[in-house]
Amino acid sequence: MVQLEWEGGAGDQGVRRSQPGILPRPTPSPVQDCVAAARRTDSLKTLCDQINEPSFLSTRGGPATMARENDEVRAVAIELDVTSNGQTIEVAVQKAWEAFGHIDALINNAGVRGSVSSSLELSEEEWNNTMTTNITGAWLVAKYVGKCMRDGGRGGSIINISSIQGLNRIQIPGALAYASSKGAMHILTKTMALEMGKHNIRVNAIAAGLFRSEFTESLFQKDWLNNVALRTVPLPASGEADPALTSVIRYLIHDSSDYGSGNIFIVDAGYIIPGIPIFSSL
């Protein structure tokens, strides 16, 4: 199950909304089934229709022979608003479970960035909206998917898409609510990993750096990004979610990661390495 929605202001960091790039490329075997969930399902249904085309696997790096016979469905779209109450989210998760009879992995990706506001000017409404979407919603989705995984008896992998702004070295003025929610996401990840391990459920997070998306494209056009921000990044990164993020997601979904849980995987081209002379680049 994957959530494919990301909203907010011009400062957003994250993966593209309803964009196939966040979906891991198919591996030789087996073909992955996918339930994609978002508040707005129009573009999501288009995405699922694309995935269900026999040609999708070959264009995404998998052999054409992997295509399902008899046009069997591989991807299903469902409506899910993570700001709704727990009962509504539980119903949506149950629909996702029933679509294919199980959920092996959850990509918890819904989020909101919000506006740039100082700690003294940030409104209570925006604080609550950010926290409800980024941490309460993430917890509720993981909670009900985790329950299904536990009751199903086959374990699973929960992957929370987070941000380097939730780490102690990266603090940007004007992002109090967002950074706080991502810091909370990291603690949520570790605590759920501690508690759910006995059910063979792995819980990890990916702290992403700045990636190109429809909400960050304007940032890549600004002079400061090239003159300051990119000069502090050790690797010559292109800022594309695929394969930078998707390769880590594939690893965390696959059984090869079955001995790893409670980790925060940083994917940022080295941006947070201690000692980089950020201010000397100004």
Q: Output the domain CATH number for residue 94.
A: 3.40.50.720
Q: Look at residue 39 in the predicted model and tell me its pLDDT.
A: 86
Q: Look at residue 8 in the predicted model and tell me its pLDDT.
A: 41
Q: Cα-atom radius of gyration of the chain, to the nearest Å?
A: 19
259 as an active site residue: the answer is: no
Q: Look at residue 17 in the predicted model and tell me its pLDDT.
A: 38
The tally of domains found in the chain comes to 1
Under 8 Å between Cβ of 57 and 31: yes
Which residues are within 8 A (CB) of 70 and not within 5 positions of it... i.e. 6 or more apart?
A: none
Q: Which residue has the tokens 């990119």?
A: 230
Full-model pTM: 0.82
Structure tokens at 10: 């011009």
Q: How far is CA 83 from CA 14, 129, 260, in A?
A: 18, 8, 30
User: What's 25's DSSP letter?
Assistant: P
Under 8 Å between Cβ of 4 and 47: yes
Please identify which of the residues 178, 251, 259, 271 carries the catalytic annotation. 178
Q: Look at residue 141 in the predicted model and tell me its pLDDT.
A: 97
Q: State how far the Cα of 267 lies from the Cα of 131, in Å rounded to an integer.
A: 23
User: What's 245's DSSP letter?
Assistant: H
User: Which of these, 82, 77, 80, 54, lies nearest to 67 by C-alpha position?
Assistant: 54
**Domain encompassing residue 230:** 2-281
Q: State how far the Cα of 274 lies from the Cα of 140, in Å rounded to an integer.
A: 34
Largest CA distance in the chain: 61
Planar angle of CA 224, 229, 232, nearest 5 degrees: 145
CB atoms within 10 A of CB 237: 17
Under 8 Å between Cβ of 82 and 143: no
Q: State how far the Cα of 193 lies from the Cα of 179, in Å rounded to an integer.
A: 21
Q: State how far the Cα of 250 lies from the Cα of 252, in Å rounded to an integer.
A: 6
Alpha-helical (H) ranges within the chain are 42-52, 56-59, 86-100, 124-131, 137-152, 176-196, 223-224, 241-253
CB atoms within 10 A of CB 202: 24
Q: Look at residue 108 in the predicted model and tell me its pLDDT.
A: 94
Q: Look at residue 14 in the predicted model and tell me its pLDDT.
A: 31
Q: What is the pLDDT along the chain (282 residues), one digit of tens a residue?
A: 766 554 443 222 333 333 333 444 444 334 478 899 988 888 788 888 888 887 665 555 554 434 455 567 788 999 999 999 999 999 999 999 999 999 999 999 988 888 888 999 999 999 999 999 999 999 999 999 999 999 999 999 999 999 999 998 766 788 899 999 999 999 999 999 999 999 999 999 999 988 877 666 766 777 766 666 667 778 876 667 778 888 999 999 999 999 999 999 999 888 888 655 554 444
